[in-house]
Structure formats: C-alpha cells, structure tokens
C-alpha cells in the first residue's frame, strides 16, 4: 500500500490533471491529514475540489492514445465524479466513506452512480473513437471526429446502436472502459515539497476532518456528517424553521422555531461516525495495539485480576505498546481506543496466564 503522501498526490493529480495545482492541493492535504491515510485522502479530496477550475481548458485532440483520450473524456465530467471514482480505486468501502465524509452506504451509492454515468456517457464516445470495426451500420453513424465534442455528440446514437447490435455489444464488453483507462494513467514523481510536508506532518496532530462531499459551499470545515429527518404536520398558514448547532462529529443542540403553533412535529437528528478499527495482541506480558490508519487516538489498557485497573498506552513507532505487570494469577485484559472524532473501539477480552511474563 502506498504511503499517504503518494496516495494523496495521485488523487490530486487524478482530479486536477495539473501538476502545479495538484502539488498545492497535495501539500495542504498532507499537512492537515498527518499520518492518517484516510484523513489525508479526505483533505486531498477537499483541497483538490477547492482548486478545480470552473472551465477546464479543452485538451488537444490530435495525437491522443487511448489513455490520453480517456483522460480528456473524464475531464468533461464533474470533478466530484473523478474524485469519487479515483478514491474508490484506492481504498476499501470503509475508507472510501471516511475519505468522502459520508456513511458507507452513501459512499457506495456515489461510486456506483458515477461509474454508471461514465459507462453510459463516456464509453460510447471511446468506442466511436476506436472506429466501427466490421460494422457498416456503426460506420454510417460515426462522424469525422475533429473535436472531442464530436465524439460526445455521437455517443447517444452509438449507445443506441450497440444495444441492438450483437457484434458491437461484444466489442464494447471486451473494450477497456474509460474508468479503467483513467486508472492506468502514469503518475508524475512525488514533488519534493509534498514529501517534505508529509514528513513534518507525522509529528503533528491532524486537523479536523474537512466538510463531507455532500456539503454545500457555505458549510464550515469539520462539519459532522448529519442525517436529519424532519416530519412536520403544519396547520394552514404556519411556517417552521430548523436551527442546528454542531460540534465536531456531534450535534450539540437542535431547536425548532415556529411563527405559529404547530399541531405536531418530530425532529430526529443522528450523527454518522465511522467506527474506529482497533487490534491488539500480547506476547507474554508485552501488549501491542494498532489503530487502523494510524489515526491519533487515546489508547488505554484495562485488566482484571492484577494490580491497578488501567493504564494509558503510549505510541511507540507505528504501534501502541506497554507491559502488563507480572502476576501470579490469571489476568483478563482488553484495550480501548478513542480518537479525536469521538469514535471508540474495544478489543475482546484476553487472558494472560501466570508465568507468561
């Protein structure tokens, strides 16, 4: 698995396709994400989208190879789609949710929707660029493409033809998709300034998570992922407003404000916090715990049967390590972790037998 700086750099390049701007975004992301891979990718997604030009320059259509054409086609789609599909190819479903700042089901839905859109709108344009093959009917539909727009304009007719042509359907199924070609694009070397920023960030606490992908432009950094369900039965002529205050990853207060009496109303607010992943093991009395993604967390060792109920576990290198005091009776132990988001985890009970140390 690549280092966080490499993954952040690759993501920024995939979204922006501009080395200088991508380096600015990647440097900002690794400074904020620290050694947490998921948090660094979340900031990379946010920083890259902040820097996306409103009207990206049109690519040079002449002399493109399949990967170059796929990149040009992908540039016609919203940057959010490029961000989602690139992250999907880099991380698993849980980490995709963290990087996007949404619930896992929502992250999967966003990735599925973006992939289906590219397959429907971009893959036929790629097939048009590849040519008709042995299909004379498709040859009649294809324009003499001189611009990328010509391929995109022909895509709906090509897709309709492919749906009813067995030979062209076989070609499209065998064809490498635009999504797959974009993932194969070569990555420029990691800029020295991004590598230096990543090295320095390993010794600092990470910043709060950026706003989720679904957040509007007016929402603040670190916005919690909220699911708000409001059911209101209004009398004629009444109006209702909903005011929400938040803390990082938590909702601190909710108030419904009405200008006239409301016969009945229900306001339910919940917060989605991606679970913390924690693992621990013991060799003799040496206990080692690992928090997935190296997110800075407060790790505590607990036990029953020995002296003292608990002790903090320091981070030593890539893991949290401590020593249980030798004992003449069996000791049941477990580890808990709490990160800055408020997410918690607990390992199952384990036993250290007498004489194991």
Q: In which element (H, E) is residue 299 found? A: strand 297-304
- DSSP secondary structure string, 316-349? ETTEEEEEPPP-SS-EEEEEEEEETTS-EEEPPP
Q: For residue range 233-262, what is the model confidence (pLDDT) as tens digits? A: 333 333 333 332 333 333 333 333 333 343
Residues 6+ apart with CB under 8 A from 254: 242, 243, 244, 245, 267, 269
- Residue 338 pairs in a beta bridge with 298, 344
CATH topology of domain 278-352: Immunoglobulin-like (2.60.40)
Residue 277: is its pLDDT beyond 80?
A: no
At residue 94 the predicted structure's pLDDT band, cuts being 50, 70 and 90, is confident
Q: Are 91 and 38 in contact (CB under 8 A)?
A: yes
pLDDT computed for residue 282 by the predictor: 85
Phi, psi angle pair for 332, to nearest 5°: -90, 130
pLDDT band with cut points at 50, 70 and 90 for residue 284: confident
pTM over 0.75? The answer is: no
Cβ neighbors of 179 (< 8 A, separation 6 or more) are 85, 115, 118, 119
- Domain ranges, ordered by start, for the chain: 4-183, 226-271, 278-352
Hey, what are 124's tokens?
Answer: 């036929």
CA atoms within 13 A on the CB side of 16: 26
Between CA 111 and CA 93 the distance in angstroms is 10
**CA separation for the pair 108, 131 (Å, rounded):** 34
Name the percent of the chain lying above pLDDT 70.
73
Higher pLDDT, 318 or 24: 24
The number of beta carbons lying within 10 Å of the beta carbon of residue 19 is 14
- Partners of 287 in beta bridges: 282, 322
Select the highest-mean-pLDDT range: 41-50, 146-155, 263-272, 283-292.
41-50
- Closest to 57 (Cα-Cα) out of 21, 26, 28: 21
């Amino acid at each position: 698995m690549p280092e966080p700086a490499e993954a952040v750099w690759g993501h920024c390049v995939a979204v922006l396709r501009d080395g200088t701007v991508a380096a600015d975004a990647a440097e900002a992301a690794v400074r904020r994400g620290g050694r947490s891979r998921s948090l660094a990718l979340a900031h990379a997604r946010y920083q890259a989208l902040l820097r996306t030009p409103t009207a990206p320059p049109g690519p040079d259509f002449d002399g493109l190879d399949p990967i170059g054409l796929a990149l040009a086609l992908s540039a016609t789609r919203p940057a959010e789609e490029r961000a989602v599909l690139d992250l999907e190819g880099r991380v698993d479903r849980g980490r995709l949710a963290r990087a996007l700042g949404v619930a896992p089901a929502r992250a999967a839905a966003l990735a599925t929707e973006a992939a289906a859109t590219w397959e429907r709108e971009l893959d036929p344009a790629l097939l048009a660029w590849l040519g008709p093959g042995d299909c004379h009917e498709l040859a009649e539909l294809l324009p003499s493409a001189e611009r990328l727009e010509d391929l995109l304009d022909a895509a709906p007719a090509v897709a309709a033809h492919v749906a009813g042509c067995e030979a062209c359907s076989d070609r499209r199924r065998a064809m490498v998709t635009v999504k797959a070609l974009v993932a194969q694009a070569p990555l420029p070397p990691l800029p020295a300034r991004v590598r230096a920023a990543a090295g320095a960030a390993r010794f600092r606490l990470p910043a709060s998570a950026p706003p989720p992908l679904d957040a509007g432009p007016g929402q603040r950094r670190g916005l919690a992922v909220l699911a708000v369900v409001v059911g209101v039965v209004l009398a004629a002529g009444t109006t209702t407003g909903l005011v929400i205050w938040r803390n990082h990853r938590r909702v601190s207060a909710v108030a419904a404000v009405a200008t006239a009496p409301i016969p009945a109303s229900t306001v339910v607010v919940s917060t989605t916090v991606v679970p913390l992943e924690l693992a621990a093991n013991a060799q003799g009395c040496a206990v080692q715990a690992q928090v997935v993604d190296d997110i800075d967390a407060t790790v505590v060792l607990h036990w029953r049967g020995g002296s003292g109920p608990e002790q903090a576990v320091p981070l030593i290198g890539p893991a949290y390590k401590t020593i249980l005091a030798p004992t003449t009776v069996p000791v049941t132990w477990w580890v808990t972790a709490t990160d800055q988001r408020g997410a918690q985890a607990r390992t199952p009970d384990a036993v250290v037998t007498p004489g194991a140390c």
